Amino acid sequence: MNEHKKRHSGERAHVCEVCDKGFHTHGDLRRHRKTHDRVRLRAPHVEGPYICKFCGKEFPKHRNLIGHEMTHTGEKPYKCDICSMQFRFPDGIRSHRRKHTGEEPYKCHVCGKATRTSTALEIHVRTHTGEKPYSCGVCDQAFSRLYRLKEHMRVHTGEKPYPCSVCGKLFARRINRTTHEKTHKGDKPHVCDICGKGFSQAFYVTVHRRIHTGEKPYECSICNKHFTASGTLLKHMNSHAKAKQREAKSAQNG
């Protein structure tokens, strides 16, 4: 009877020690624990590397293997009790729950900015330190975040994986595709206060105004040439990279 009352009252006194999820009854908690046990039982008592039984990929840690194999099986045993979103690991659901609670336990020691995860804090701190640990192997340009390096590499490879849903034009970055698709709607609410030209995004007004002001804030680290837009700088940097490759080939042939 007491357990029945708890279900109606909303009380969740039984908390999982692995993922902090709460339950009305001990029986519910016991059944939930089995989802964690399934993961634990897979762990072999042997040293790595650990090999994926589906594709043969190797991992130094068993935890990494388990997470990878779940990409094949689709298994996500950790479910948010608020929005039902599912995760592969307990730390994933813990950080996700902070979206609902608003909790931001990690604080920057420089400016006091708070973040939900330690990874987000680490990335933020780089804005203060200037650290850029991800370097391009072609042109030596460095980035603070891995996804920015991956986007940058498309300048060299020519890869454009994002097609416009209207005209099929290809883009290297998703945000550029999104901006482009707005041009098909004809909506240009952002207007230059100097010449009156309209744009679909405020960012384009900022870049456009540099034609009037002469501002060129993007500098090439190789030849010190300046540009009005970051995209133009990237194309210019690619010309240096190609020249570097030609010199290397010439040296090998010579």
Asked whether 43 and 51 are in contact (CB, 8 A), the reply is no
> DSSP E strands: which ranges in the chain?
14-15, 22-23, 50-51, 58-59, 78-79, 86-87, 106-107, 114-115, 134-135, 142-143, 162-163, 170-171, 190-191, 198-199, 218-219, 226-227
188-241: CATH architecture: 2-Layer Sandwich (3.30)
Q: Note the maximum CA span of the chain.
A: 89
What pLDDT shows up at residue 106? 92
More confident residue, 36 or 212: 212
User: How many angstroms separate the CA atoms of 183 and 180, rounded?
Assistant: 5
Sign, CA torsion 135/117/178/192? negative
pLDDT band of residue 240 (cuts 50, 70, 90) is: confident
| Helix, coil or strand: residue 92 | helix
The token pair at 3 is: 């357990």
Range name among 5-14, 26-35, 124-133, 144-153 with the lowest pLDDT average? 5-14
pLDDT of residue 20: 62
pLDDT at 19 over 80: no
Chain-wide mean pLDDT for the chain?
82
pLDDT reported for residue 45? 52
- Spatial CB neighbours of 46, under 8 Å, sequence gap ≥ 6: none
| Terminal-residue alpha carbon distance, the chain | 89
Phi, psi at 157, each rounded to 5°: -85, -20
pLDDT tens per residue, range 28-83? 777 776 665 554 444 445 566 888 888 998 988 887 888 888 888 888 888 898 99
Give pLDDT, residue 115.
93
| Mean pLDDT of all residues in 196-222 | 88
pLDDT greater than 90 at residue 125: yes
Contact residues for 211 (Cβ-Cβ < 8 A; gap 6+): 228
Where, residue-wise, is CATH 3.30.160.60 in the chain? Answer: 188-241
Confidence of residue 7 (pLDDT cuts 50, 70, 90): very low
Q: Are 221 and 240 in contact (CB under 8 A)?
A: no
Q: Which residues are CB-neighbours of 241 under 8 A, at least 6 positions away?
A: 138, 139, 156
What is the share, in percent, of the chain residues with pLDDT greater than 70?
Answer: 85
Average pLDDT over residues 160-174: 91
